[in-house]
Structure 1
């Protein structure tokens, strides 16, 4: 037993001695072969800088392509920049100068400086190596859901504040799935729903998308616009297949346990007739969970009977005072000092029938114009108009025609018509 213990002690002593010897050799190598440590340091540093440059080139390309940069790529770049710019490089350079200077009146090398230089170069090279190995990025960027453009041309009118607030309150009711806004052409429906869009996004009530349907709906275009707003790529070729994918995305409710998206508000503007929501892929009725719908149309029956909106809100024309104030705001102060022109302007404003679109169109067309132009415009607006090939109101149609006639050149008119 004693022999066994003695043998074990001898082995331990032998291993300890071996370890001490190897450690001594390592420190001696630091002094003798310090240049090799510096060369390895410089090699790794060069490779790291090349990797950093390559990643930066990919980042620049991704940004030019409208992509956002991934978090791990940004973190890696910051760590590399810190290592390159700060202590690791500067310390090694300073130590190298000291190590290459002899001590004792130039008769022998500075052992302490070389040892310190080698250790620091080795540590820095190891750090560089770790960062080089971390640089395994397949792609550096990604496409995020596009941020909405929140600027609208919505004008705040006191008579419409209650209507806007009622719409917002209705959207907040959990049981409300589909509501509608209706009113005559030019009354400001599009501006109103755009403002709802902006407010919903600003208040972070829901994710919100908006698309114009138009008189002849293009289902695939509508699907594409909704999908693009959601950051969804529709790869299916058939309308039905695309509708299924869109439907799946729109019914995702906010659920912290499942880490899903919040409820979505879909705004469909300029609806002329019943739109088949199922064909588009928009959940409705009993399928509504996760999705609310706001519709805008000139026809109340389209909203109530055709689409099945539970609540509808009528947007009416402006009263005389609001119409006049809005007209003055749009046209500027060009007639304030001329009583005759002001009198004509009042009559012109009345002919716009309280429709914001007609008011803004006419007012901008007459900005800084002479009195005879105003009088001519008034005569045009007073003239009966029955040759109207569309369903928009005569007031709006005449306002657009007047604006067209005041375009400065024939080429511009042709571009407008195109």
Structure 2
């Protein structure tokens, strides 16, 4: 038996350990093969169980088991217990070698040392400095070594105002704070930025990353850690992973791949980009072209040899992309600032404005879909990096390469950079004009004959929105986000932009914005408050002040087209929305959320009493309905409606509607209703007049306050149950006698609050005392 076990163990060790896990020979690269390990773990567990069973049998028979068999079993247990996921700190999807792990620990120790006020991390561009400091920051925050981690990019041309904004109001005396200054190129005046000297803030620590060790010396770093390149073998392993060479590992391709990997000079950013571009390519000629391109001599004014090597790798990755739109989008992305977090909406505006799809693309909606496809191609090629909330970033070296590869034709201008201003008047073929946070004379440029398609302003100060933009015959997209406009109503100008397809206007209202009007658009987002554009809602209008209202034309247009509509004032004297504003056949079936308030004329939302011959389906996509302070509203619907009207409604909230008498007179499918809140409706007698057994199956919250005429809330005709109801609040309902018309099951109820109910008799009439429901203190 012992001999059998020895041979069996030997077989499995050779098959599993040498074949996939190889911990003894790959100990320095264990994290690099974590994925292989995970795939082999399941098989190893089966084999370990088999061995254990045989060992147990041998032991029970009193037979000797050789030590190496027991040792293998013990080692297999350790491998199975190994948590590879917690050990992986990935750089471009690659798990670096043990030296990188050692540097990580060295940096962590330096920041834990209270004697080190400033620590430097130095390494070539693309070696993973930013990745490492972010990981270290997370670790220190989790360990509560520091109360706050402030991370800001400095870059070659530091924006002092932005850096100050990043750290403003976050430096509190006594708190332990780590300030990460990423990508530092030269001297920093800490006093100008507002970073305290070491003697003035003992809890503050500074961590800088830089490509130049002299920067660390000049700034007086207490400790400087140098981040080296990948080892040759780790570089090759990373290349294989990104190129998926293990799946097509012919000898010829492996040899070509090894040579290409060597040309990447052990830089992760270069390896990830070029290997990803070769993934899935089987033809030898494609690999030959990539290798020759990397070996070709190239010169570039002002660039050192190392930078040229990176640029060549990125050029090859770019050349290998088959998607033309992805290539164009890549070349456009250099317009964004270094280390800028780029939202999908910004990419979309850039692509549309830059004419990514030529002159003959269908519309902005079609272009947006193509932008997302192109963005995903760039992510797959490691030319863009995923960031939180579906945003993306571009590595600073990749950004530089994009600018270098881009052709000389000027079609994109970012006025953030001072040397770009003169181009606006000089060049007639600019299509995308971006400005962030500067310039009061944005519209002083002469725009006659311009090919501009996108104007993108973010946090700008503008004297007035010039009528010059109405002369832009090709302007398709206008974005004004968190801008301060000193004079005139900007919508008077916007309404004159006849070719406009998309409008984003948020946080930019001024005192002249009263009556709002704008042209018909494919996509719009208009809100008083600054807000990230909701990608799920392509047509959004929201006003919170009573003194802002839509013109009659825009009002009718928005009620028919909007997906989210929030209005606090409606001009026009309309008694209903359908059919007086919106035709009955339209049904407002695209609307997802509706919020109305402060209207003195509206009597009902929909009046279908004269359309009895046709049962009308309305609000079929409506999820949220909120009505506040509608003085003369008597009922929601007057007349018959299709059963499936409001079949998506989840949240109903009505407040301070003094003349409201009823909610639903007809039979409706309210199966998805989750929350009902009625407050301050003194004329309301019966909220629900017809209730089917399938209604309210998903109702979770029921709140009724200050509705003194209600006698019965839910008049069921037969026994009913509320499987989802968790919270019920009933207060100040003077005539209320019963909550439910029949016995109900309240198995999920967690909270029941009743108050100010002088005539309450019971929860339901003729209560069945044998019925099980939770008791609450009333």
Q: Give the 3-state SS of the residue equivalent to 1:250 in structure 2.
A: coil
Give the corresponding residue for 1:114.
none
Give the corresponding residue for 1:411.
325
Give the corresponding residue for 1:273.
186
The one of 290, 295, 299 equivalent to 2:208 is: 295
Provide the aligned C-alpha RMSD in A: 2.2
> Are residues 162 and 152 of structure 1, via their aligned partners in 2, closer, same or farther at CA, if it must alter by over 3 Å?
closer
Q: Give the 3-state SS of the residue equivalent to 1:286 in structure 2.
A: coil
Alignment of 1:373 with 2:314, yes or no, is no
Aligned-pair CA distance for 1:362: 1.0
Aligned-pair CA distance for 1:293: 0.6
Q: How does 1:107-256 map to 2 (within 5 A)?
A: 153=92, 155-206=95-146, 207-227=148-168, 246=169, 249-253=170-174
Return the alpha-carbon distance in structure 2 between the equivalents of residues 390 and 417 of structure 1.
19
> Are residues 328 and 389 of structure 1, via their aligned partners in 2, closer, same or farther at CA, if it must alter by over 3 Å?
same
Which of the two has higher C-alpha Rg?
Answer: 1
Return the alpha-carbon distance in structure 2 between the equivalents of residues 208 and 389 of structure 1.
36
Per-residue Cα deviation, 1:66-114 (whole angstroms, up to 9, x for no partner) = xxxxxxxxxxxxxxxxxxxxxxxxxxxxxxxxxxxxxxxxxxxxxxxxx
> Are residues 213 and 312 of structure 1, via their aligned partners in 2, closer, same or farther at CA, if it must alter by over 3 Å?
same
> Are residues 393 and 283 of structure 1, via their aligned partners in 2, closer, same or farther at CA, if it must alter by over 3 Å?
same
Q: Give the 3-state SS of the residue equivalent to 2:264 in structure 1.
A: coil
Return the alpha-carbon distance in structure 1 between the equivalents of residues 257 and 90 of structure 2.
29
Give the corresponding residue for 2:541.
none
TM-score by length of 2: 0.30
Return the alpha-carbon distance in structure 1 between the equivalents of residues 188 and 121 of structure 2.
15
Paired residues of 2:152 and 2:163 also in contact (CA < 8 A): yes
Aligned-pair CA distance for 1:251: 4.5
Alignment of 1:362 with 2:274, yes or no, is yes
Q: Give the 3-state SS of the residue equivalent to 1:285 in structure 2.
A: coil
Aligned-pair CA distance for 1:335: 5.7
Give the corresponding residue for 1:395.
309
- How many residues get paired? 240
Return the alpha-carbon distance in structure 1 between the equivalents of residues 310 and 242 of structure 2.
16
> Are residues 152 and 187 of structure 1, via their aligned partners in 2, closer, same or farther at CA, if it must alter by over 3 Å?
closer
Per-residue Cα deviation, 1:178-210 (whole angstroms, up to 9, x for no partner) = 000111122221121122122222222212121
Return the alpha-carbon distance in structure 2 between the equivalents of residues 268 and 316 of structure 1.
20
> Are residues 326 and 152 of structure 1, via their aligned partners in 2, closer, same or farther at CA, if it must alter by over 3 Å?
closer
Per-residue Cα deviation, 1:235-281 (whole angstroms, up to 9, x for no partner) = xxxxxxxxxxx4xx42422xxxxxxxx40101111111112221111
Paired residues of 1:177 and 1:284 also in contact (CA < 8 A): no
Give the corresponding residue for 1:75.
none
Q: Give the 3-state SS of the residue equivalent to 2:299 in structure 1.
A: coil
The structure whose RCO (Cα within 8 Å, separation 6+) is larger is 1
> Are residues 395 and 202 of structure 1, via their aligned partners in 2, closer, same or farther at CA, if it must alter by over 3 Å?
farther
> Are residues 265 and 152 of structure 1, via their aligned partners in 2, closer, same or farther at CA, if it must alter by over 3 Å?
farther
Aligned-pair CA distance for 1:151: 9.0
Aligned-pair CA distance for 1:296: 0.3
Return the alpha-carbon distance in structure 2 between the equivalents of residues 185 and 200 of structure 1.
24
Paired residues of 2:173 and 2:201 also in contact (CA < 8 A): no
Return the alpha-carbon distance in structure 2 between the equivalents of residues 187 and 202 of structure 1.
25
